[in-house]
Structures are given as C-alpha cells and as structure tokens.
Amino acid sequence: MTYKRKKYHRGETHIRKKYKGKRRTKDLDEIDNDLKHNSESLLAQKIDVEKAGNAQYYCIHCARYFIDEHSLSHHYRTKVHKRRLKALELEPYTIEESERAAGLGGNYKAPVKRKIETILPKVMSDKIDVDQEPDLKKQCTVTLGE
C-alpha cells in the first residue's frame, strides 16, 4: 500500500500570519503617542458594551482590554506585559532622528532610555488607598534594615 507523500514546502504562511489583522496590535510608536497625549482619556473610558469588560479595564502599554480587575492585575505580572514595558523604555524611532543620522538635520543623538511604570486605569486606582502606602514602605525598610 502506498502512502501519499506530505508536502513540506515553506510557502508564504509565515508572511501571511504576520500581516493578518486579527491579532494585530498597536506598534510601539502608536503606544508612545497614546502615553504622551491620550493616556487620561484611555484610562478613564466611558462604558462601552461592545468591548471586553465594558472598556473599563484597559492596559495602555499593551493596548488590550480585559474582562475584570483580576485578569488585568494578573496581566501586569506576565512576561508579555513586562516585555512591552522593556520595549517602551527606548524612545521610538522618528523621521527627525533618521534625518539627523543622515546628516541633514544636525548632529545625531542616540535614543534615550526612560523609566516606564505600569499605569493603572481609573477604576483600579480609585480602590488603592494612598494613605496606607507610606506605612507599607516603612515596614519594608524596617525589615530590610534588621
């Protein structure tokens, strides 16, 4: 009995997957623009029943909506979120930077590293008590000092 030979050719499936719109997320320069200009409006969105979690639980760094507070707080501890924060530390590449590198717009300046911290949505930041936070810091410093 003969078996049909399987075809193991490369094809263009890896290229097609890259450009599919289903899993497409925002690029780093778009997220950087959101962080600079639209962060307040994105973190305090109006209720929208079409989006997950009624658009109340949004991670601005990853540009993703979550169902509830628990899933969003779990997301903050994942590798995906930490990788995105690490990638956002460098300033995005701009047209002005490319012109400076070519010698057209002045001297070239290397991109600067910046400190990016997780920004909580307004729904979650309201629940955190600011008065208790300094007490927690004191306890940590006391236990480390001993």
Domain ranges, ordered by start, for the chain? 20-124
pLDDT tens series, the chain, 146 aa: 567 666 665 666 666 666 666 677 888 888 998 888 888 888 888 888 888 888 888 899 988 889 988 998 899 999 999 999 999 898 888 888 888 888 887 777 777 888 888 888 887 777 655 444 454 344 333 333 33
Burial 90-106 (b: 16+ CB within 10 A, else e): ebeeeeebeeeeeeeee
pTM for the model: 0.65
Q: What is the largest CA-CA distance in the chain?
A: 78
User: Which residue carries 């097609």 as its tokens?
Assistant: 16
